[in-house]
Amino acid sequence: MNKLLDATASLAARLDGRMLLQYVESCPSTSDLVKEQFAVRGLTEPLLVCTDAQPEGRGTRGRSWSMQPGQDIAFSLGLPLTSGLEPSPRLPLALSVLLGQSISNLVREQWRAARLYQQEDDPGGDEQATTGERVTRAINEARDSLASRICAVKWPNDLLMARRGLDGELQYRKCGGILTEHLPGLLVIGIGLNVNSTAADFAAELAARLTTVRDCCGIQLDREALFSGIVMRLYGKMVFNGILQGYSAADDSAIRELEPDWRELDRSAGQRWLLNREGKTIPVTATHVDFASGHLYVQDEAGNQYEIESYSELESQ
């Protein structure tokens, strides 16, 4: 039994042709497969392709994106665009928020399901609770609090997950990413997420920089439930009321509604970069993201500020 195949079939039945879904056991790149399907079949409906293994996944700047077969999530969504319809430049920010919210919701649900005691509605409260029950309740409340902060986002399209360091502070590392490709008449959204793998499953160079949902939560998540939740959230937000309604350059009202959520999740400030501009390489530090434009602002050591529109100008320090 293939759980991801079953989840895809269940979603297809639920959406009843309003969005096409295709599962492949393995493919070099789900985004390339989506583009190929639109070119060959002349599709007019949204198409989502998911896979259990993607050896040639891509991130920003053409960098590779690695996943562990059968453990992580990789899929791409193709949205046909009517003539003249342009996606909002802030779309990657919105997608990061929607992805982070989906993960936080499932983590909270699975942590609650794993509680030792199901006594949250005990009318007696703390006065009648035993010491063990009070300790368990405190742990559960701490988990609920952490679930709301376990995900974060970073400009332009990174999803971060947190785990507590030795000092007790939350330390965020990248666990997922989003790549949007705007082609004539087509928008392709590629999503990769490290779910039930562990950092130790990756090459040492990658393991030092990334994390996984499993590493941060301490439990193995229901990957298929997470996949289904993300797909339905994207469908409900971006497809159901008309493709890209509220997410286009002409009307991005739906994205503006997500600004408070972005502000709460954003961890872009403080990131150090090398800015390549006018033939110079300048060490800079991110100060903030201007949500109205979707641009990043950075500052050099002399206090000069720069507006960054494209990630291609930056390199990680």
Q: What is the pLDDT along the chain (317 residues), one digit of tens a residue?
A: 799 999 999 999 999 989 999 999 999 999 999 999 999 998 999 999 999 999 877 776 667 788 999 999 999 999 999 888 899 989 999 999 999 988 888 888 877 776 544 444 454 555 566 776 776 676 666 666 666 678 999 999 999 998 876 676 888 999 999 999 999 999 999 999 999 999 999 888 888 889 999 998 888 889 999 999 999 999 998 888 788 889 999 999 999 999 999 999 999 999 999 999 988 999 999 999 999 899 999 999 999 999 999 888 998 87
Using CA atoms, how far residue 136 sits from 112, 143, 164, in Å, is 12, 10, 19
Compute the half-sphere exposure of residue 45: CA atoms within 13 Å on the CB side of its CA: 14
Q: Where along the chain do its domains lie?
A: 3-106+148-265, 272-316
Residue in 236, 227, 211 with CA at minimum distance from that of residue 103: 227
Put the strands of the sheet holding 20-24 in their side by side order: 20-24, 47-51, 73-80, 186-193, 170-183, 158-164, 151-154
229: amino acid identity, one letter: G
What's the CATH code, domain 3-106+148-265? Answer: 3.30.930.10
pTM above 0.75, yes or no: yes
Q: Are 154 and 271 in contact (CB under 8 A)?
A: yes
